[in-house]
């Protein structure tokens, strides 16, 4: 699973040279011709290959073409003739996008709980991610309270409760169909009274195009702010790695209504690469905080830009 | 917002009129635009390549028709080709000659299997069937509980059974018991909701295969998220290889994803898309219409979606009153105009609304207008109208210079802006009144809407 994140290393420039030299010795005239034509080929075929790789990983045409244009410029300037070197430069380019400074979680006031709100469209893995996140924080010796503010989806509260039991965290809930802002209010009050370190808020999945549901998120934000200064300190947008270009629009609209501060990329244990987060970071500067790589409590890893970029080329 | 494909194609063909045939050269640029549009809509890049090749072959050598512009002609070829690929099959389920019919739901995590199972049960009930639901998802926390709530909501029978260990043996036992229960309680369709699984999870894919041989289902439906990107081909292909899918349900189509995954999945599996999910309510399951989604994938607008959206948010009675007033007699007042703006605001951003319209024919300028109009503009217009007296709203002709000054001051705008609004209002009012005179239907028919 996780191995897909750490792939085999591309043969370096020196290896290639060595190889080329050995082969050249074998049949000088023939090999030399190959190498020369190979260099000429870098422009078209190689770039087409790289384009297919990036688009195939869901980076989208705009981001892909921008990145490749920059790469072409650099390659021209530095007179790069080697494919491995070209790939290295491309990875550098992508890394630069992914590691640009983005919004940071708001610093919490000492002695107050830190509030993490989890948002996203339906079926991306919000509740599962919350279970895993609680697990990480509990392992770190923190006290955590879960808030079941998804009062809409059938059995969402039960699902969170099972995660609560698994991770030894209490769940504050209301009846199905109740007001999410009200249960958030209760949870934050409880967290304050109990001096909990963290409150993680599960919200109902919603399509970003539903204006009334997005307004509900805004209301929840205001509720949180009233009870705990600076809350929510972190708002995580859960993004399914299989998501295509629509992910960008999701990120835009969720950021507008709920002030997203970071992304969790889930289901990265499949074959999807999750490249849309490059497009998202490029446009909105939102950093990826964690990646989900399975259904177990331990399957949440801090985002590692380097291995993520490597995985795009596997 | 994506620039509209039709617009782009029109542009690339500007100089083509008068040339006899579509050739490799003169459609080259168009094919590049088409490729980008499909990629932006998340059609898999390999599928795009195949499709473009195919379309190119079809297009090259065709005589340039006089009735259509070359751009429209290519659009027509593309549209026909894609509609053809997606097929005409709609919501037809195969039923067993000897009940119960078994429908097996398959798909990745979070694609919407449980919700779709509930919708399907609802749909079956409406069609006079007696569906029974069973969840064999013993893995995800509260998954079986979820289906129970869903079953209750749609009033369908459910087989709950006892769960022991969370393993394949339990899954198989539950499936067998549910089938027996369906027979005993006179249910003619058994819908089996399964755990979400990755196509590369061999153990769980084997479980699906054993469920298939155990239940011998008439339908194996692959539930896929309309927002899926390039990976759609891999997951669909793998599910198809292991299970021979009989159909696809595309979920979350009520969002604004272009839904290119539909093409990808159909291309690699050949399985027809039977239903689309268009909302969270249990009746939000619809038969699939290829022509509608093709328009959406190509960015040619989706008038029907727009109408549906408008219907969902607009106060029907008010809208009818407005239409009557606007088309006949004295025309609509500034107060009516404001109410309409508020309705538009309720529907969501102007840009996203405009995005659903085809940007050709009567709507060609709307996109430019929408780009210029920022959403604040609506609030400004609202403020201006709010600053008028009721009398002024009903009788715009009384608004003279000093009244304009007062209105501008009251709404925090300038006289210029007030003038502008009044001018626009007068134009629109006249336009609507004219429409009322000429047969509106005839006018509409006169508007050419290629692609619709």
Q: Give the SS3 label for residue B286.
A: strand
Instruction: Look at A302 and B10; give whichever has higher pLDDT.
Output: A302
Q: A131 to chain B: which residues are within 8 Å by CB? A: 141
- What is the phi/psi pair of residue B370, to 5°? -65, -35
| B202 interfaces chain A, CB cutoff of 8 Å | no
As assigned by CATH, the class of the B315-446 domain is mainly alpha
- The packing angle between helices B45-59 and B261-269, to 10°, is 80
Please answer yes or no on whether B235 and A271 come within 8 Å at the CB atom. yes
Please answer yes or no on whether A61 and B255 come within 8 Å at the CB atom. no
Are B103 and B191 within 8 A, CB to CB? yes
Nearest to B229 among A61, A124, A242 (CB): A242
Mutation for A interface: B141, B150, B166, B233, most A CBs within 10 A? B141
Specify the range with the lowest mean pLDDT, choosing from A159-163, B345-349, B406-410.
B345-349
Query: What digits encode the pLDDT tens for the residues A261-289?
Result: 999 999 999 999 999 999 999 999 999 99
The pTM for the full model equals 0.76
Q: A240 to chain B: which residues are within 8 Å by CB? A: 110, 225, 227
Residue A193: cis peptide before it, omega within 30 degrees of 0: no
Q: A271 to chain B: which residues are within 8 Å by CB? A: 199-200, 231, 234-235
Which residue is closest to B235 within chain A, CA to CA? A271
Q: A161 to chain B: which residues are within 8 Å by CB? A: 142
Residues 104-143 of A with CB under 8 A from B: 121-125, 131
Q: What is the rounded average pLDDT for all residues in chain B?
A: 82
What is the Cα–Cα distance from A27 to B450, expressed in whole angstroms?
A: 61
Instruction: Give me the pLDDT at residue A75, please.
Output: 83
Q: How confident is the model at residue A12 (pLDDT cuts 50, 70, 90)?
A: very low
Q: Which of A16-25, A30-39, A137-146, B416-425 has the highest mean pLDDT?
A: A137-146
Instruction: Give me the pLDDT at residue B142, please.
Output: 94
- Positive or negative, the Cα torsion across B242, A311, B252, B207? positive
Instruction: Give me the pLDDT at residue A2, please.
Output: 34
Tokens of B26: 């003169």
Mutation for B interface: A154, A210, A216, most B CBs within 10 A? A154
Q: B296 to chain A: which residues are within 8 Å by CB? A: none
- Name A201's bridge partners: A117, A147
Q: B304 pLDDT exceeds 50? A: no
Q: How confident is the model at residue B356 (pLDDT cuts 50, 70, 90)?
A: low
**What structural domains and CATH numbers belong to chain A?**
13-98 (1.20.120.140), 114-260 (3.40.50.300)
Specify the range with the lowest mean pLDDT, choosing from A196-210, B105-119, B204-218, B426-440.
B426-440
Instruction: Give me the pLDDT at residue B83, please.
Output: 86
Residue B401 CB contacts under 8 Å (≥ 6 apart), including other chains: none
What is the Cα–Cα distance from A178 to A152, expressed in whole angstroms?
A: 8
The topology (CATH level 3) of B3-86 is 1.20.120
Domain ranges of chain B: 3-86, 101-288, 315-446
What is the Cα–Cα distance from A304 to A87, expressed in whole angstroms?
A: 19
What is the Cα–Cα distance from A54 to A276, expressed in whole angstroms?
A: 10
Q: Give the SS3 label for residue B377.
A: helix
Query: What digits encode the pLDDT tens for the residues B357-372?
Result: 544 444 445 555 555 5
Residue with tokens 């081909």: B233
What is the Cα–Cα distance from B39 to A67, expressed in whole angstroms?
A: 16
Instruction: Give me the pLDDT at residue B352, please.
Output: 55
Are B226 and B269 within 8 A, CB to CB? no
Q: Give the SS3 label for residue B382.
A: helix
Instruction: Look at A20 and A255; give whichever has higher pLDDT.
Output: A255
Are A237 and A260 within 8 A, CB to CB? yes
Query: What digits encode the pLDDT tens for the residues B232-258?
Result: 999 999 999 999 999 999 999 998 888
Q: Give the SS3 label for residue B245.
A: coil
Q: How far is B224 from chain A (nearest CA, A)?
A: 11
Q: How far is A107 from chain B (nearest CA, A)?
A: 33
Q: B447 pLDDT exceeds 50? A: no
Query: What digits encode the pLDDT tens for the residues B62-80?
Result: 776 656 667 677 777 888 8
The β-bridge relationship of strands B273-277 and B285-287 is antiparallel
What is the Cα–Cα distance from A286 to A279, expressed in whole angstroms?
A: 10
Instruction: Please check whether the domain covering B101-288 is classified as CATH 3.40.50.261.
Output: no
Q: How far is A220 from chain B (nearest CA, A)?
A: 20
Q: How far is B170 from chain A (nearest CA, A)?
A: 19
Q: A35 pLDDT exceeds 60? A: no
DSSP H or E run through B371: helix B366-372
Query: What digits encode the pLDDT tens for the residues B148-160?
Result: 999 999 999 999 9
Per the rule left: phi > 0, alpha: psi between -120 and 50, beta: everything else, B142 is left
Q: A245 to chain B: which residues are within 8 Å by CB? A: 40-42, 229, 258
Q: How confident is the model at residue A111 (pLDDT cuts 50, 70, 90)?
A: confident
| A272 interfaces chain B, CB cutoff of 8 Å | yes
Q: How far is B246 from chain A (nearest CA, A)?
A: 23
């Amino acid at each position: 699973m996780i191995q897909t994140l750490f792939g085999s290393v591309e043969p370096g420039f020196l290896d290639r040279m060595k190889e080329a030299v050995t082969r050249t010795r074998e049949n000088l005239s023939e090999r030399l011709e190959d190498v020369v034509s190979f260099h000429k080929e870098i422009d078209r075929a190689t770039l087409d290959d790289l384009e297919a790789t990036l688009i195939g990983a869901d980076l989208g045409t705009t981001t892909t073409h921008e990145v490749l244009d920059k790469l072409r410029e650099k390659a021209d300037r530095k007179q790069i003739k080697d494919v491995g070197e070209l790939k290295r430069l491309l990875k550098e380019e992508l890394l630069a996008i992914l590691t640009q400074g983005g919004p940071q979680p708001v610093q919490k006031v000492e002695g107050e709980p830190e509030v993490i709100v989890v948002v996203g469209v339906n079926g991306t893995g919000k509740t599962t991610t919350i279970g895993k996140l609680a697990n990480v924080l509990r392992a770190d010796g923190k006290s955590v309270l879960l808030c079941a503010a998804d009062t809409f989806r059938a059995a969402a509260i039960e699902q969170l409760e099972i995660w609560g039991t698994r991770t030894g965290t209490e769940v504050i809930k209301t009846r199905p169909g109740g007001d999410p802002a009200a249960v958030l209010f209760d949870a934050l009050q409880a967290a304050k009274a109990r001096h909990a370190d963290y409150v993680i808020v599960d919200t109902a999945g919603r399509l970003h195009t539903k204006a009334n549901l997005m307004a509900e998120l805004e209301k929840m934000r205001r509720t949180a702010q009233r009870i705990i200064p600076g809350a929510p300190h972190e708002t995580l947008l859960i993004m399914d790695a299989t998501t295509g270009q629509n992910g960008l629009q999701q990120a835009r609209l969720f950021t507008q209504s709920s002030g997203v501060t970071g992304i969790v990329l889930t289901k990265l244990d499949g074959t999807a690469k999750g490249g849309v987060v490059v497009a998202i970071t490029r446009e909105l500067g939102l950093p990826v905080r964690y990646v989900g790589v399975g259904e177990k409590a331990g399957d949440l890893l801090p985002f590692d830009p380097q291995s993520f970029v490597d995985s795009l080329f596997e | 917002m994506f620039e509209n494909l039709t617009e782009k194609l029109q542009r690339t063909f500007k100089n083509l009129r008068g040339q006899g045939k579509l050739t490799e050269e003169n459609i080259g640029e168009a094919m590049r635009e088409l490729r980008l549009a499909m990629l932006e809509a998340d059609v898999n890049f390999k599928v795009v390549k195949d499709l473009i090749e195919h379309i190119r072959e079809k297009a090259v050598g065709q005589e340039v028709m006089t009735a259509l512009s070359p751009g429209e002609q290519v659009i027509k070829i593309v549209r026909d080709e894609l509609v053809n690929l997606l097929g005409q099959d709609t919501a037809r389920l195969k039923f067993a000659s000897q009940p119960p019919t078994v429908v097996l739901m398959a798909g990745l995590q979070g694609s919407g299997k449980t919700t779709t199972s509930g919708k399907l049960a609802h749909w079956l009930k409406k069609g006079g069937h007696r569906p029974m639901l069973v969840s064999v998802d013993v893995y995800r926390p509260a998954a079986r509980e979820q289906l129970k709530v869903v079953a209750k909501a749609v009033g369908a029978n459910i087989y709950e059974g006892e769960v022991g260990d969370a393993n394949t043996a339990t899954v198989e036992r539950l499936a067998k018991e549910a089938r027996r229960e369906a027979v005993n309680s006179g249910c003619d369709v058994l819908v089996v909701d399964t755990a979400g699984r990755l196509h590369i999870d061999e153990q769980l894919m084997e479980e699906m295969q054993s469920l298939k041989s155990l239940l011998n289902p008439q339908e194996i439906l692959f539930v896929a998220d309309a927002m899926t990107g390039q990976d759609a081909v891999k997951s669909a292909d793998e599910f198809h290889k292991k299970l021979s899918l009989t159909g696809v349900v595309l979920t979350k189509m009520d969002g604004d994803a272009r839904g290119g995954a539909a093409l990808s999945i159909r291309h690699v599996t050949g399985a027809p898309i039977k239903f689309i999910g268009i909302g969270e309510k249990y009746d939000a399951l619809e038969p699939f219409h290829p022509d509608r989604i093709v328009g959406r994938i190509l960015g040619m607008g989706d008038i029907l979606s727009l109408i549906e959206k408008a219907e969902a948010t607009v106060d029907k009675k008010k809208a009818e009153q407005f239409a009557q007033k606007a088309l006949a007699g004295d025309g609509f007042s500034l107060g009516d105009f404001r109410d309409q703006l508020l309705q538009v605001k309720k529907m969501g951003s102007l840009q996203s609304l405009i995005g659903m319209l085809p940007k050709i024919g009567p709507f060609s300028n709307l996109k430019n207008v929408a780009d210029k109009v920022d959403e604040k503009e609506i609030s400004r217009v609202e403020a201006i109208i709010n600053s008028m007296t009721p009398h002024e709203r009903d009788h715009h002709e009384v608004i003279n210079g000093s009244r304009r000054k007062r209105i501008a001051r009251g709404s925090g705008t300038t006289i210029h802006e007030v003038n502008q609004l009044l001018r626009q209002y007068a134009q629109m009012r006249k336009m609507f009144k004219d429409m009322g005179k000429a047969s509106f239907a005839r006018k509409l028919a006169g508007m050419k809407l290629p692609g619709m």
